[in-house]
Structure 1
Amino acid sequence: MKIINKIMKIHCRSLYTLLVILFFGLTSCDSIVEVTDPDIVTPESLDSEAGIATLRAGSLGDFAIAMSGSSAGHGGTTGLIVMSGLMTDEYYYSGTFPTRREADTRLVQNTNGDVDVIYGNLHRARASAEATISMISELGGDPNLESEMQSIVGFSYTLFAETFCSGVPFSRAPTDGGELEFGVPLTTQEMFETAISRFDNAIATGNERYSNLGKVGKARALLGLGNLTEAANELSSVSTDFVYNIEHSINSRRQENGIYTMTTVRRQFSIADEKGGNGLLFRSEMDPRTPWDGGDDLGQDDVTIYYNQLKYPSPGEPVVLASGIEARLIEAEALVAENAKEAVEEIHNNLRARIGLTPVDLSEMSETQLREFHFKERAFWLFSTGHRLGDMRRLVRIYNREVSEVFPSGAYFKGGEYGPNMTFPIPQSEANNPNYQGCLDRNP
């Protein structure tokens, strides 16, 4: 009983200190693990499988809000998926919030409130998962749960690397209740490398399901570094049927899928079509992987014609974090680099057959055309899951594509021009960290 009480005190004190100093504050430590009523969840109840499940649920809940957002808050909470989708060709902004328009125009300032919330929520998810790992160890260990939490930490680092500029610090509050350890800025490469080390821990400790989660995450981080062959080699044992979801629920507004809220309910994020003159035809292709309806009503701004995504048709709809389909797509990208047309064609046609799409003939394509086709297929398979910004940046960083060929460019449909940003900035709120340097660069 003493150790449980000690762990709970450490967890609350350390996480509270970290998040209040670095981000925008929490009203109570209870919210971190969703323990809001001492008559329902007590320290005694944590000394059990049910208690461990509660801690796991809190960590995964934090990550779900960071990624998808939620219905909680005034008008809902924006997640990384829709905000990063605005910077790419996935969504138009059909609302009135200037912070979201900044993402849509690729002119994002370090005072952007939505980016600040996403940044804080993603750090909160990472810190919560790290604290859960420490508690698992104190309570005697649970290899599968530890593997899952290691992957959540790994995905947090990966998403920071894919979405934010170089220079993100990762601070920690020691579980022994010591002084806050302010993080130093990490480059994009260092964030990917740290993610890989976390995924290695996940692969080493988990059963097949959680090991697969770690393998897909590690391959995604390796892809970010341009290590294509190594990424593909991680995935041979991952079944195409494998899926790990970010879960949502109608049990509370906090648990609801914020993508559904911001699109179908709030009509602020409209599925795009040839955005910025070079975006993909997410509507016109009439592809079952990007279902939509609308075109008859206006968005929340009463100006933009609204097209609603139907990939997430309800507030309880899950979001895929990692899958066997993504594993096959990563393998295909490594084969594209070898100009292995037949093998690339086989992978894509096998995937397309799963949902009744007609097969494609890639035999006459050049290597450049093959890569363009592959990235288009990735965009449709992984639409609105938080992958597209990382993919577009990789096209510029690894494959030397021109920014104007990849990102929305030229005249903005509501007036003005698209800006140069390819990343979100490190928010000004991080200036509480004495090591804060802002963005080391805004390169892809």
Structure 2
Amino acid sequence: MNRYTKRCRGTLWAMACTVLFAGCDLFEVVNPGPIIDDALNEEAAGKTVLIGVVADVEVALDAMAWLGGPASTDLNADATQPWLQDAGEGRLTVTNAESSWNPMQLARWGGAAGIARLNETQSDAASNQFLTAAYMWAGWANRILGDNVCIAVFGGEDKDGDGTADPGDVHEANMHYTRALERFEAARTRAQSTGHDSITVAATAGMAQANLILGNYSAAQSLAAQIPDDFMWVAHRSDNSGREWNSVWQFTHENQKQITVWQMYNDSIGPDTDPRVPWRDMNQTSGGGVKPFLRQLKYTDRADDYPLAKGQEMRLIEAEVMLRMGDRQGAIDRINHVRDRVGVPPVSAATDSDAWLALDRERNFELWLEARRLKDNARFAAENLSPWAVAFMQNRDYCFPPSLAECSANPNVTGNPYCSQG
């Protein structure tokens, strides 16, 4: 899966396509093996620093795709591992949070550290392409956190100069979207001034995502409208090493049957009804021996990439804003535009409740197994917008808490109510 498909539409999209292949080497990842930290303080190490930032974000997204799947309406768990089964039953506990909290925080910290290092080491910092890209990837790191965590903890820097990292300050989880928006805006401004058009498009899509959740609906709609239907930006996976594999594939294909499509909404419509949510009945029970094993087929190889943002999602952002502003038919038209492009029949909505349910389902299909679903489940349930979300989220945790280590070691987090979750 390329970061962009090859068809070009619209002025902004045409600009992006002109630099697609010329700029691909910016994100080419070759594992250099262990690197002494001081070696990264050389100007020549700029690309290596960026590769580290990108890799940590990709690992964080991978972790949340397979953990967030059974925690949401993406997948069901029938697992032999208790921590995965807990997620499938809606128990997102502090004791199990190392697998979720740690990679996301590493990606956030790595993005901030990479930006700081590149600012210090690159003589052309004001226009440096590695630094521009680092701002964008730091935006993705914060958006992933915002989609999944209960609280924001910003720290890890040695502000007092005593040689140890300071404990992080605690904020509401939505602060991650604010931070993401700042990073994306910086990336876009820099990219526009230096002609890095592919980053301009990707950062604009990230800004639309963040603004939607922050309730900046007009801004979200305006930004989304700038993104063409065929746009896609991805987090790469590889068969190079286990850290780089697609873990959703691993937990459903590599002699494992830990998570299943059974009793998810795409189960009810059949395996071939919508090409965005493919699955196959394997005529077996899942790993825990209780539930039928319906294998997801969106990712069929360990090197399959995860989308971070897509043009089709932008149309659904437009639809949501229209619905919030009272334009039900406009919202349904946008939804049906997306459905027409993938070859499935149109939907209709006689009431606002019907329209919200249609939007909820469409976002489920379009963003399936991309670490996005838990946030949609939580926000649509909290606002009582989608009866499906409301019913599903009964007696389930809405977000991933801090890890036990964070709760124990960070005095700013110790005693936080989320440290008792689970």
TM above 0.5, yes or no, is yes
Query: 1:431-442 counterparts in 2 under 5 A?
Result: 431-437=408-414, 439-440=416-417
1:239-267 residue CA offsets vs partner (Å, 9 max, x unmatched): 22211110011122221211111111122
Aligned with residue 330 of structure 2, among 322, 338, 343: 343
CA drift at 1:98: 0.9
Q: Distance in 2 between matches of 1:45 and 1:186?
A: 31
The reply on whether 1:43 has 2:39 as its aligned counterpart is yes
Contact 2:76 2:262 in 1 (8 A): yes
The residue identity in structure 1 corresponding to 2:257 is R
State the percentage of identical aligned residues.
Answer: 22
The reply on whether 1:59 has 2:43 as its aligned counterpart is no
Q: Distance in 2 between matches of 1:159 and 1:37?
A: 27
Alignment gaps of 5+ in structure 1 = 1-32, 69-78, 410-418
CA drift at 1:406: 4.0
Distance 1:294 1:378, change over 3 A: same
Contact 2:178 2:210 in 1 (8 A): yes
Contact 2:357 2:385 in 1 (8 A): no
Tell me which residue corresponds to 1:125. 107
CA drift at 1:358: 2.7
Contact 1:222 1:230 in 2 (8 A): yes
The reply on whether 1:134 has 2:124 as its aligned counterpart is no
1:10-68 residue CA offsets vs partner (Å, 9 max, x unmatched): xxxxxxxxxxxxxxxxxxxxxxx9653469x99399643xx433222222221121111
1:220-244 residue CA offsets vs partner (Å, 9 max, x unmatched): 2222223322211222222222111
CA drift at 1:423: 1.4
Distance 1:397 1:215, change over 3 A: farther
The reply on whether 1:151 has 2:128 as its aligned counterpart is no
Tell me which residue corresponds to 1:429. 405
Distance 1:62 1:190, change over 3 A: closer
Distance 1:438 1:90, change over 3 A: farther
Tell me which residue corresponds to 1:414. none
Tell me which residue corresponds to 2:311. 324
CA drift at 1:295: 3.5
Contact 2:57 2:140 in 1 (8 A): no
Q: Distance in 1 between matches of 2:388 and 2:413?
A: 28
Q: Distance in 1 between matches of 2:77 and 2:86?
A: 10
SS of alignment partner, residue 237 of structure 1: coil
Distance 1:199 1:178, change over 3 A: farther
Q: Distance in 2 between matches of 1:150 and 1:43?
A: 21
Tell me which residue corresponds to 2:376. 391
Tell me which residue corresponds to 1:405. 390
The reply on whether 1:192 has 2:177 as its aligned counterpart is yes
The reply on whether 1:271 has 2:261 as its aligned counterpart is yes
Distance 1:404 1:37, change over 3 A: closer
Query: 1:12-411 counterparts in 2 under 5 A?
Result: 35-37=32-34, 43=39, 47-48=43-44, 51-68=45-62, 79-112=63-96, 115-137=97-119, 138-140=121-123, 141=125, 142-166=127-151, 168-174=152-158, 178-206=163-191, 207-265=196-254, 266-274=256-264, 281=268, 283=270, 286-360=273-347, 362=348, 365-399=350-384, 405-409=390-394
Contact 2:76 2:88 in 1 (8 A): yes
Distance 1:256 1:189, change over 3 A: closer
Q: Distance in 2 between matches of 1:366 and 1:283?
A: 26
The residue identity in structure 1 corresponding to 2:323 is V
Distance 1:194 1:397, change over 3 A: farther
The residue identity in structure 1 corresponding to 2:283 is D
Q: Distance in 1 between matches of 2:285 and 2:211?
A: 41
SS of alignment partner, residue 238 of structure 1: coil
SS of alignment partner, residue 400 of structure 2: coil
Q: Distance in 2 between matches of 1:403 and 1:367?
A: 14
Distance 1:235 1:178, change over 3 A: farther
Distance 1:184 1:216, change over 3 A: same
Q: Distance in 1 between matches of 2:399 and 2:294?
A: 25
CA drift at 1:174: 4.6
1:337-382 residue CA offsets vs partner (Å, 9 max, x unmatched): 233244223322322222222334x3x5211211111111111011
Contact 1:283 1:290 in 2 (8 A): no
Alignment gaps of 5+ in structure 2 = 1-29
What is the root-mean-square deviation of aligned Cα atoms in Å? 2.9
TM-score by length of 2: 0.81
TM-score by length of 1: 0.78
The residue identity in structure 2 corresponding to 1:100 is L
The residue identity in structure 2 corresponding to 1:60 is V
1:274-300 residue CA offsets vs partner (Å, 9 max, x unmatched): 47xxx9836467311101112312222
Q: Distance in 2 between matches of 1:223 and 1:38?
A: 39
Contact 1:273 1:282 in 2 (8 A): no
1:169-228 residue CA offsets vs partner (Å, 9 max, x unmatched): 121235989542321111123332222222221221123321222222222222222332
Q: Distance in 1 between matches of 2:231 and 2:186?
A: 20
When structure 1 is superposed on structure 2, of 288-297 and 202-211 the one drifting more is: 202-211
Q: Distance in 2 between matches of 1:38 and 1:372?
A: 50
The residue identity in structure 2 corresponding to 1:261 is Q
The residue identity in structure 1 corresponding to 2:54 is L
Contact 1:213 1:244 in 2 (8 A): yes
Contact 2:229 2:311 in 1 (8 A): yes
Q: Distance in 2 between matches of 1:44 and 1:299?
A: 46
SS of alignment partner, residue 87 of structure 1: coil
